[in-house]
Copies of this chain bind each other. A is one copy, B any other.
Amino acid sequence: MTQLPRGRPRSEATRLAVLTATAELIAETGYDRVTIEAIAARAGCGKQTIYRWWSSKSLIVADAVIDGHLRLPEHGVPDTGDLGADLRDWVTEAAASVRIPEHRALIRALAAAASETEAESLRLSEHLTAPHYGALMRRLRAGQARGQLSPEANLDAIADALLGSTLFRVLAGFPPAAHPSAIVDLLLGAGPGGRSG
């Protein structure tokens, strides 16, 4: 079924070298100071090889993240059965992760990449933000199914607030929140007896 490739196959080694070089350069100098020429030089490949496979810098970054060369903090949401504890763990871990300069640089890089154009932003959100958002929403739905959230609770609003409040502090250049998990208690309505710890 699938057509067999005819000529010389794509070099996996070079592909990895490009993604690794991109990750390193972003950590060292920041997204917008990274140039295609610098990536090619460090990866030891020609510029054409990069332009053949990636149409823009932001797409290289997106691939680097998808491939795991650049790690985003918000990957998995734990599910121990206790929604509040899981979310507190997740938010706390995300906040701790954001203290790491390399992670801050990466998040800024992604924001900058997403800032380039509306189209770029959509492509990045499909591959990066949407999966994380989806994982969080699934965890919220599971908790709702177990009765740990009101059936009428607006899960989108909760997910927006959880992701947004962490993202906000990073992008605004604010110091990390003193009590990052406080937002969880607020959102889950800790007022009437829900709070633990």
Cβ-based interface call for A109 (8 A): yes
Cβ-based interface call for A117 (8 A): yes
Cβ-based interface call for A31 (8 A): yes
A contact face: mostly helix, strand, loop, or mixed: helix
Q: How many copies does the complex hold?
A: 2
Within 8 A of B (CB), among A96-151: 104, 108-109, 111-112, 114-118, 121-122, 124-125, 129, 133, 150
B115 to A30, Cβ gap below 8 A? Answer: yes
User: Residues of B contacting A164 with CB < 8 Å?
Assistant: 160-161, 163-169
* Chain A interface residue number, banded: 35 or more
User: Residues of B contacting A104 with CB < 8 Å?
Assistant: 118
B31 to A115, Cβ gap below 8 A? Answer: yes
Cβ-based interface call for A66 (8 A): no
A157 to B186, Cβ gap below 8 A? Answer: yes
B157 to A183, Cβ gap below 8 A? Answer: yes
**C-alpha spacing A156/B122, complex, angstroms:** 30
Cβ-based interface call for A16 (8 A): no
